[in-house]
Every structure is written in C-alpha cells, then in structure tokens.
Structure 1
Amino acid sequence: MGWLWADKTETKSASTPSAAKSSGCPVDYTSLKSSSSSRPSVCPVQPSNSNDQVLNPLNNMPMAISSERAPGQKIKLSTERTISTIPRGESSDQGLWEYPSPQQMLNAMLAKGKGEGIPEDAVTSMVEVHNFLNEGAWQQILEWENKYTNETKVEPRLQQFTGRPHDLSPKARVYLWLGGLFPDTFNTVPPFDRHDWYVLRSKGRNQGWKKVRYVIDYYGAPDDEETGMPAFMLDTRPALDDVASIRDRIVSFAGPVWRKAMGDADQF
C-alpha cells in the first residue's frame, strides 16, 4: 500500500482502474507469510530499508528505482506512471503525488525479495488496485477534513507518509483484545499493513498549515459475493495527537450513537 512518489516524470492522468470494482488485490498474502510469525503477511509492496539505498524522507521510499526490464523478465511492463488526485507539499506548484509504474513496482519487489511467486502478468493489476486503495484512503481523509475545509475554503494536502507494517496501532490492539473475548463480534485478525499519513490542514488562506497525522489500518475483508475476489477495508482516522483530533474522533463515534438513541431510522 501507499506507493506515492515525490519526483516528477512523464505520467498519465489518474483514472478509475479496471480492477477497482473488486477492491481486491491479486497477491495471495498467505503464500508470503513468514514461518517465524503467526501474523498475516504485510503488503509485499514495501520500501526496501537496505543501508545502501538513499530513502526519500517524504515517503520513506528509495529515491530511485529502475524502470529498466529486470533480468530474466519475460513480459514487457509499462513504464508509465499515473498521477494521483492527492495534492503534494505546501503549495500547488508542487503538484500531485505520483504512483510507480508496473515496471518500477516489479523492480522494487525484486529488490526487496518479495517478487518470487508473483506472476509478472499480475503486476499491472497490483498497481491499479494499490492506486485505487490509496485514492480511497485520501477520500476518507477528505471526509474527516471536510469541516475544516469548509471553514478555510482551502483543500488539505499530503506532506509525507510512512509505512509501519510491523507496528500495530492502539485501536488495532484493542480490537484484537476484544476479538479474543468476543470473537463473533470483533475482528480476530490483525491488519496486514499500517500507514501514517501527515496531512497539511490550512489555518486559513495564506496563514500556513497545521500538520495532522492520520493512521490507516488495512484489513482483509470478506470476498466480494458477486465476483469472488478478495476485498479490503480501510480504517482511516486522525491520530490522537492533540485535542482537536481527540474531539473529532469522539464526535465521529458519538454522533451516530446519539442519533440512533434518538430514534433516527437512517442510522439503523
């Protein structure tokens, strides 16, 4: 998840991918599970932390991943990269975040040692689905930010993000604990990935930005009933770093509960 890039190359504009309807990922995560861990495998598309690579501080990704064909590669993959809808940096002249091309995706997985067993003809679909999930995460963030955007008339922007696949969020820990007590009600499987996105919230036009951290947990969801394809669920919310974020989380939870208690039929 979360392959967004900060450098500029020739790209094509974002569009809804053909794989978006299933919300599924063509990667079988169970086949990538480590024998030394009982936790589900993390998303295989993760940045390499090798000491000989220079990482971009904006996304914790290698600064340069080759677009050249990999040794022994049988299928030609596109080197075109798609522009996301997610604004990057503090000003409009910094443009939009970009997704890696299918060729870069394959090269990155091979460099990380995660490419074994993944069919080359599945890489393009992987890119489309992962792009779609990132767009979905951003839409959820926009919903959280909506009241602030209405006040300032300035859209939020994504400054940076980082993948934390091995760090369970506090909420995920609580859900797992509750799942142990009430397995029929709460999820008993941890998220397979986590991201922290650092969003710039406007303080008012030409008055600067407030950095707000969002936590995104990626869960596997039941297979789509119509297509049989695997699906995902994103749990996106502001981290409890300040009073405003705590208030937003409380209001988000308490509001629907209160309306249900008051007999609002739409809440049932």
Structure 2
Amino acid sequence: MADKCPVDHQSQSAEKCPVDHSSRATWGGLFSKGSPSESTPSLSAERELSSIPKADDGNWVYPSEAQFFAAMARKNHNPQASDMKTIVPIHNAVNERAWAEVLKWEVGRGGERCGGVKLINFKGKPSQMSPKARCMTLLGYTAPFDRHDWIVERCGTRIRYVIDFYTGRPGPSSSDVSFYLDVRPALDNWEGLRMRAENVWQSWTGGLSSKTTPP
C-alpha cells in the first residue's frame, strides 16, 4: 500500500510528505495568526492520494491533519490544531503544482515510453538556498521560504529538480496566502544542462512552447 508522499522528514518513517519537519514549522507560520486555542478541534486521520507516481507501484500519499500536527508537535513547533484544516489542503495543492511544473519540463522527452516519469527520491532543504535564489536575493528580491530537491526518473535517466517556494501577493482577504514556485532541472549533469540550454535557446528564438515552459 502506498503510504508516503514526496519529500523526506530527515528519517525513513512511513509519514513522509512534501515538507520536512523544519519546513513544516515555516509553513505553519504562514497561516497561524493567534495563540493556541484551549479547545482542540478534531483532526482527521484521512490521507489524500497524490497524483505523483512512486518508483515501484502506486502514488505517494499526503499526511493526514493528525500526522501533520503530530510531526510539528514532536519538534516543539507549537502547532495550532485549528490551522491544520487550512495548512494541509494548501500543502497538498502546492506540491501538486510542483509536480505539474516538473511534467511541463518532461513533455516530449520520452518518458511515456516507460509508463511516465516517476518521483524516486526527495529532500527538503529549507536552510540551503539554491544558487539561483541566492543571486536573486543579491539583486533585491525576496528569498524563498522553502526549497525542495526532487529526483525524477525518466526511463532510467535520473534528473534532479530544484524547487524554490516563494510567498506571492496576498489575495483580497488578509487571510489569503499565495505561492510562486520556481521549478527547474539542476545543473549537475548533462541532461539538466541540456534541458536548461534548450529552454534558453527556445526563448531566444521565439520558439518557446507551452509544453516546455517552466514557471
């Protein structure tokens, strides 16, 4: 049975999901607005199946509200139980968007010959700024609040994708939180270099298609 979801928690437990423990505290801070309530709402134990294929069989599974809360509590991050009904769906939706951006890069690159690309490995790196993000902050842009590295396999070829998470402009309500994701192949092997070079060339020549447009 599929019982994991995409980014490690600095352990190999069955509660893996797309934000590690330190990242969860960061994500929780984006939504928590007040002090803990004396009454703790009931937290769901149901888990949502992701659209992200695993290396073996089935898809990754996101954590339940109860698991998300428990993981934050174990790390003394003072989670708000009432926030879980907001954090968990957004956490899942953002990771679905990240996978969709990976698939944009992968369109037309042959993954369909072997059943489609799959997420093999993953790592949350909230304290390690990517070179691109570091350069952007030097130019005055806001730093990302989180970073993930996802290892994707395409018919035996492995590509590392770097995902920087940024908070976007707030919506009409003061409680709205939006996100911008910068997803791209890492420049640590020939395939990643080739993909990024092709994208730059297409941009220069005006031939950039919607099939391969990164965020």
TM-score scaled by structure 2? 0.76
Corresponding residue for 1:55?
A: 12
Corresponding residue for 1:86?
A: 52
> For residues 60-79 of structure 1, what are the structure 2 equivalents within 5 Å?
74-79=40-45
> For residues 109-128 of structure 1, what are the structure 2 equivalents within 5 Å?
109-114=72-77, 116=78, 118-128=79-89
CA contact (8 A) 2:120 2:153 kept: yes
Give the C-alpha shift of residue 58 in structure 1: 11
Give the C-alpha shift of residue 74 in structure 1: 1.9
Task: Tell me the amino acid that sits aligned with residue 195 of structure 1.
Answer: H
For the structure 1 residues 217 and 139, does the alpha-carbon distance in structure 2 shift closer, same or farther, using more than 3 Å as the test?
Answer: same
Corresponding residue for 1:31?
A: none
Give the C-alpha shift of residue 110 in structure 1: 0.4
Give the C-alpha shift of residue 79 in structure 1: 0.3
Task: Tell me the amino acid that sits aligned with residue 252 of structure 1.
Answer: N
Which among 177, 188, 194 is matched to residue 138 of structure 2?
Answer: 177
For the structure 1 residues 57 and 83, does the alpha-carbon distance in structure 2 shift closer, same or farther, using more than 3 Å as the test?
Answer: closer
Alpha-carbon RMSD: 2.9
CA contact (8 A) 2:159 2:191 kept: no
For the structure 1 residues 253 and 86, does the alpha-carbon distance in structure 2 shift closer, same or farther, using more than 3 Å as the test?
Answer: same
* Count of residues paired in the alignment: 186
Corresponding residue for 2:121?
A: 160
SS in 2 for 1:79: coil
Task: Tell me the amino acid that sits aligned with residue 99 of structure 1.
Answer: Y
SS in 1 for 2:110: helix
Corresponding residue for 2:163?
A: 216
For the structure 1 residues 101 and 178, does the alpha-carbon distance in structure 2 shift closer, same or farther, using more than 3 Å as the test?
Answer: same
The CA distance in 1 between the partners of 2:120 and 2:3, in whole Å, is 13
Task: Tell me the amino acid that sits aligned with residue 130 of structure 1.
Answer: H
TM-score scaled by structure 1? 0.62
CA contact (8 A) 2:151 2:160 kept: yes
SS in 2 for 1:212: strand
CA contact (8 A) 2:15 2:63 kept: no
Which among 196, 199, 202 is matched to residue 252 of structure 1?
Answer: 199
For the structure 1 residues 192 and 46, does the alpha-carbon distance in structure 2 shift closer, same or farther, using more than 3 Å as the test?
Answer: farther
Corresponding residue for 2:146?
A: 193
Corresponding residue for 1:103?
A: 66
1:126-177 CA-to-partner distances (Å, cap 9, x unmatched) read 1000000000000000011112136736310001211001101111111112
For the structure 1 residues 236 and 96, does the alpha-carbon distance in structure 2 shift closer, same or farther, using more than 3 Å as the test?
Answer: same
CA contact (8 A) 1:59 1:160 kept: no
